[in-house]
Amino acid sequence: MSLGLIPNPFMTSESRRESMAEQSAVELQHEVIPRLQEIQEKFGYIPQEAVEWLSSQLKVSSQEIYGVATFYNHFRFNPPGKHEIRVCLGTACHVGGGEKILDTLSERLGIQPGETTADERYSLERVACVGACALAPAVLLDDEVHGRMTQRSLKRLLDKVDRADKKAAKGSDE
């Protein structure tokens, strides 16, 4: 016998409504999240048109879908840049200067976290943890961990990427 089927005599009708609303919100998340993941995998981000399509498929408002998607920081609504930079802001990285690294990147690239540069070369994200606490502060550049970052090492890293991009562009012109 399932205790979940027995009505709680201490629950008011308001409590029951809240409980049902919470249950439907959880069900919505279970249905929306895998579809958002598929969309992001296909496009690299979640276009507004895809949210509208998903809204019509699931018969829920696009605001509800955005509500679910914006709760999780791994969903993005802008096309990613050629180079994705993720700055770790977990405890060790935060204490080690992760915010300063993020501010430096934001200033150098002219974008805020969650944005992509106008030339679509870089996108910048803040993440809770990259699992490299011993290397704090850490930055992921195109899924490669770069640890013990300083403003100087960050400048060298971006300069190296710029040189590699220029060399690749030169090679493709020939």
pLDDT digits (tens, 9 = 90+) for 91-138: 999 999 999 999 999 999 999 998 999 999 999 999 989 999 999 999
pTM of model > 0.75: no
What confidence score (pLDDT) does residue 90 get?
A: 94
> CB of 61 within 8 A of CB of 55?
yes
Residue 173 CA, chain-centre distance (Å), reads: 34
What confidence score (pLDDT) does residue 20 get?
A: 47
Burial of 153 (0-12, 13-18, 19+ CB in 10 A): middle
Q: How far is 113 from 73, CA to CA, in rounded Å?
A: 11
Domains of the chain, by residue range, sit at 3-71, 83-173
Q: Which residue has the higher pLDDT, 25 or 117?
A: 117
| pLDDT greater than 60 at residue 15 | no
7: left (phi over 0), alpha (psi -120 to 50) or beta: beta
> CB of 144 within 8 A of CB of 161?
no
Spatial neighbors of 80 by CB under 8 A, at least 6 apart, are: 44, 45, 116, 123
Task: Give percent above pLDDT 70 in the chain.
Answer: 84
Q: How confident is the model at residue 31 (pLDDT cuts 50, 70, 90)?
A: confident
> CB of 102 within 8 A of CB of 79?
no
Q: What is the mean pLDDT of the chain?
A: 87
Q: How far is 141 from 158, CA to CA, in rounded Å?
A: 9
Q: How far is 145 from 135, CA to CA, in rounded Å?
A: 9
pLDDT digits (tens, 9 = 90+) for 44-58: 999 999 999 999 998
Structural fold of domain 83-173: Glutaredoxin (3.40.30)
